[in-house]
Amino acid sequence: MPDLQNPRVAVYLDFDNIVMSWYDRVHGRNSYGRDRQRIVETPTDPDIAERLTAATIDVGAIIDYAASFGTLVLTRAYADWSSPVNAIYRSQLVARAIDLVQLFPAAAYAKNGADIRLAVDTVEDMFRLPDLTHVVIVAGDSDYVPLAQRCKRLGRFVVGVGVAGSTAKSLAAACDQFDAYDALPGVARPLVEKADAAPRSRSRKKVADPAAELLDRALRLESDKEDAEWQHASAVKSLIKRLDPAFSEKGLGFKSFTDFVKAHPAVAEVDESTNIVLIRLLPDRR
């Protein structure tokens, strides 16, 4: 049985699904269907290029969110990578050590093309890698409900990620935990939502310093997972190391992780009143 004390995570992205769903989220329902031919044939057209840019997926936000559950054992993204709308992400995906699974054009746009391949690989991986504790499915199609149920029956904690408004309620119900892509730390709010009366609680000020940005994102992820304002410094550091294995406070010129956090007072504050060091995101950054 999987060892929940040492969580190991597998991530599967139905990339076509998330790209199309986010495009519709940003530009309005069925926008991708209306623009599909122009996207395929003239992706460099100024109008289409601008619309694609506005609907860019933040792959890092998805992978960082998945890493908050434990060590990433494998990550796979399924799509037709020859398609211009997907090809622009290849370098970003490869940089995050994501395996690109090629779906040939005929299968990529056919019903259930990615669904079947992704489901078969997931079930095979669960038997091949019995130490997997978490399965993260990035999609919104109800066809993934049986897969989520099977993963749960095999003792895995199932996490779903989908675009708000484009995710089947049955899929969300079949997961142990489901979060909207829109709500992940670091994901910019769609422009179409700017008129909403209720402000988004996760909106944030941008941080220019990459190390501070890493600290900011880690604190948001850990706070969401633990549902607590103050976090153990050791837990936050462990998460940062999963988000960026190259991170080293000493390499940045600090004697300790606590010193590193103290050097970013615009992001976080430290509580050393007990023998356990606690840190939290500044209230005005939430």
Residue 239 belongs to domain with CATH number: 3.30.420.610
pLDDT digits (tens, 9 = 90+) for 97-131: 999 999 876 544 455 567 889 999 999 999 999 99
Q: Which residues does residue 77 pair with via DSSP β-bridges, in sequence order?
A: 13, 100
Q: What's the pLDDT at 4?
A: 67
Same domain, 234 and 271: yes
Average pLDDT over residues 146-161: 95
Percent of the chain with pLDDT over 90: 58
| C-beta separation of 45 from 57 below 8 A | no
Q: How many domains does the chain have?
A: 2
Q: Say yes or no: 219 and 148 in one domain.
A: no
Q: Band of the pLDDT at 50, cuts 50, 70, 90?
A: very high
Quote the pLDDT of residue 181. Answer: 93
Please state, in angstroms and rounded to a whole number, the distance separating the CA atoms of residues 28 and 185. Answer: 23
Q: What is the pLDDT of residue 200?
A: 41
Alpha-carbon gap, residue 250 to 263, rounded angstroms: 13
On whether both 150 and 241 belong to a single domain, the answer is: no
The three-class DSSP label of residue 240 is helix
* Chain centre to alpha carbon of residue 25: 17
One domain for residues 163 and 229:
no
Residue 202 resides in a domain: no
User: Both tokens of residue 160?
Assistant: 């779903």
Q: What length does the chain have?
A: 286
Of residues 190 and 6, the one with the higher pLDDT is: 6
109 with 246, same domain? Answer: no
Q: Within a domain: residue 183?
A: yes
Residue 253 lies in a domain: yes
The residue whose two tokens read 């960026």 is 244
Strands (E), the chain: 8-14, 71-79, 99-102, 134-138, 157-162, 177-180, 231-232, 268-271, 278-281
Rg of the chain in Å (alpha carbons): 20
Q: How far apart are CA 70 and CA 7, in angstroms?
A: 5
- Domain of residue 140 covers 8-193
Please give the model's pTM, rounded to 2 decimal places.
0.77
* pLDDT (mean) for 135-148: 94
Mean pLDDT computed over 2-26:
90
